[in-house]
Structure 1
Amino acid sequence: MPASVSHDFDTLWYTRCPVPTATGIAADQGWLAAEFAPDGLTIRSLQDEGADVPRDRHFSHALTSLFREGGNVPALWARAQGEPTRLIGLTWIEERQAILVRADERDRLAEPADLKGLRVAVPRRAIAIDFWRAMALAGFHGALAAAGLAPDAVTPVEVVAEPSAGQWLAELEALRDGRVDAVYVKGALAVEAASAHGAVVALDLDAYADRRVRVNNGTPRPVTVHQELLERHPELVVRFLRVLTEAADWAAGHPAEYARILAAETGAGADGVAQAYRGAGHAGLHLELTADRLDLLARQERFLHEQGFLPRPVDVAAWAASEPLAAARELAAASRPPASAIEGES
């Protein structure tokens, strides 16, 4: 049991996107609550609270005791807006990124070069940071880059969507109605929505070896924390990351339970989860701050700034704080049973 820590607050908050996250696994298993109960700290999720809790903090990170594991567009935007957050980890999870067309147009788009001249859906939602629009633009940008084409090789068609509209709904309706020729999607719910609207995969972006093609809101996906919490209570940050490290380890050995948690987190059925997160998706749950992942995030930062999503540039290298993750790994390694004990189990 960890030693209790003196602090001047009684709640640690966490928030995560409806995607595969170590935070979601740890919350499902009750490990976060168990870790911090000896400190007298309550663990609360922004997603699971009532209307009295401002949900916009998931995007703004304007809460000093908040841990966030989610898309990089809001995380970079919050930092660019001046919120003093720190980047303490990055995951990379392949989650079915694709370009869709109508079933009767399947032969029209066989390779990225065929995008040239097509009308592509670019959604617009009246929200503080329109990550949906950013995802679509980045998705088509990556596909075009795979063919050596510039972004202006396609014709963007603005598709207005209500802020509360279902994922990809407005874009898929525009595709079905013939207002656009192609739609970018990603994730488990997109698989199900595509089928419901008679859309099919024309370009599977996961099939390309060059990961730069798939740099987008969730690839890489950051874990961030407020700088004040890191400075005043670094031990809490390290322990939170240790739980996430152990959650990622656990997922590798419990595929059925991991699939159940994914379905609950994403809101998708078993088939959507299976198609979206093919292969050893659990492997990407492990947090890293390697030069490679930081470079991929910096690539995304440049794209977002160039496209006007960020009010000012973000120095990704300066944003990153690697010490907490390194310390968390040491704690996790120290808590594992010796190999000889594992081998002796029946």
Structure 2
Amino acid sequence: MSHQPPPQTLWFTRCPVPTATGIAADLGWLAGEFRPDGIEVRSLQDADRTEEAAHHFSHTLTNLFREGGNVPALWARARGQDTRLLGLTWIEERQAVLTRPEDTGRWREGRLAVPRRDIAIDFWRAMALKGFDGVLDLATAERVEVKAGPEAPQWEAELRALRDGEVDAVYVKGALAVEAAARFGAVVALDLDALPDPRSRINNGTPRPITVHQRLLDERPDLVIRFLTVLLRAADWAAARPRELQRILAAETGAGSAATATAYAHQPLHPDLSDERLDLLAEQERFLFAHGFTDAPVDVRAWSDPAPLAAARQSL
């Protein structure tokens, strides 16, 4: 065990989706776990917005835990960031292809909305391309670029283009997409959640990685194990309290309770590093590299370290 002194602050960041990290933070368990050590636990979402955006995607903070989309996580690793994959979750997030009501049967031969945002790693673009890739041949599809500002509301630019007849199909996921689709009068042409093969739903959040910087893992593995232990407790709590979970998910996602109930059926939030999930992540990694979202290939198994999660399970 390392004798390095503990950091004054542990940071965490998560995407606005169902995560054990978000639940543990809402319950006060992360702060409570490390308070006796004199360690402050802070969320990047409460920091300066510029600082938050930079570290959430680049993972340059050495004392940061991240539970979020795999596109930025793989992008950072491919750029040489010394992170370590601790676990993967799989949350069905209401993935769908939306069209206008009159076009539900013709969208496969139509124009696909492919967003573009001027951000360090355009995970929105990656999500749309991978969403369509799961159900049709991208090589022969007609793609229409839809520009959106970096702070544009989720799916708004694409759904506006759909409403205005500029595109014929939009890929969406999550609770906010359910609400946005209703506002724009879009309908579900294909429910990806209903497809039997989970590989059709591989995307930015499926599977979703939990990562940490290698330096923190090397210097204070005990803190990493304790952090993961809190996440496992939070996942157990969520599994036993679906109604209370809905309140937290509404706060985490920014969507109403009806939309979160529709988008996120009751599912386990427990991470693992099973061969199945690693294989699914490896397929996503190959897609991102082939389409130019990452600069170098990433060996997901070499990236992963199962020891901290195994130790966290043991500690429970």
Q: Which amino acid aligns with 1:67?
A: F
Q: Which residue of 1 aligns with 2:133?
A: 141
Q: Say whether the 8 Å CA contact 2:110–2:169 is kept in structure 1.
A: yes
Q: Which amino acid aligns with 1:127?
A: I
Q: Tell me the distance in 2 between the aligned counterparts of 1:213 and 1:45.
A: 33
% identical aligned pairs:
65
Q: Which amino acid aligns with 2:91?
A: I
Please give the TM-score of this superposition, normalised by the length of structure 2: 0.97
TM superposition shift of 1:52: 7.1
Task: Single out whichever of 31-40 and 133-142 deviates more from structure 2.
Answer: 31-40
SS at match of 1:268: coil
1:194 and 2:181 matched:
yes
1:286 and 2:284 matched:
no
Matches within 5 A, 1:285-324: 285-324=269-308
Question: Aligned pair in 2 of structure 1 residues 73, 51: CA closer, same or farther (>3 Å)?
Answer: closer
TM superposition shift of 1:56: 1.2
Q: Which residue of 1 aligns with 2:256?
A: 269
How many correspondences in the alignment? 314
Q: Say whether the 8 Å CA contact 2:147–2:157 is kept in structure 1.
A: yes
Please give the TM-score of this superposition, normalised by the length of structure 1: 0.89
SS at match of 2:104: helix
Q: Tell me the distance in 1 between the aligned counterparts of 2:104 and 2:233.
A: 43
Q: Which residue of 2 aligns with 1:97?
A: 95
Q: Which residue of 1 aligns with 2:190?
A: 203
Q: Which residue of 2 aligns with 1:123?
A: 115
Q: Tell me the distance in 1 between the aligned counterparts of 2:52 and 2:243.
A: 34
Q: Which amino acid aligns with 1:136?
A: A
TM superposition shift of 1:38: 1.2
* RMSD of Structure 2 on Structure 1 (CA): 1.2
SS at match of 1:163: coil
Q: Which residue of 2 aligns with 1:147?
A: none
TM superposition shift of 1:49: 2.2
Q: Which residue of 2 aligns with 1:106?
A: 104
Q: Tell me the distance in 2 between the aligned counterparts of 1:52 and 1:309.
A: 22
Extract unaligned runs of 5+ from structure 1. 110-114, 145-149, 333-346
1:236 and 2:228 matched:
no
Q: Could you list the per-position Cα deviations for residues 177-200 of structure 1 after superposition, in whole angstroms to 9, with x for gaps in the alignment?
A: 001110000000000000100101
Q: Which residue of 1 aligns with 2:167?
A: 180
Q: Which amino acid aligns with 1:193?
A: A
Q: Tell me the distance in 2 between the aligned counterparts of 1:49 and 1:306.
A: 34
Q: Could you list the per-position Cα deviations for residues 115-168 of structure 1 after superposition, in whole angstroms to 9, with x for gaps in the alignment?
A: 1x2210000000000000000000000011xxxxx2123101000111110000
Q: Which amino acid aligns with 1:25?
A: I
Q: Which residue of 2 aligns with 1:335?
A: none
TM superposition shift of 1:53: 3.8
Q: Tell me the distance in 1 between the aligned counterparts of 2:256 and 2:143.
A: 32
Q: Which amino acid aligns with 2:48?
A: G
TM superposition shift of 1:55: 2.7
Q: Tell me the distance in 1 between the aligned counterparts of 2:86 and 2:49.
A: 29
SS at match of 1:55: helix
Q: Which residue of 2 aligns with 1:80?
A: 78
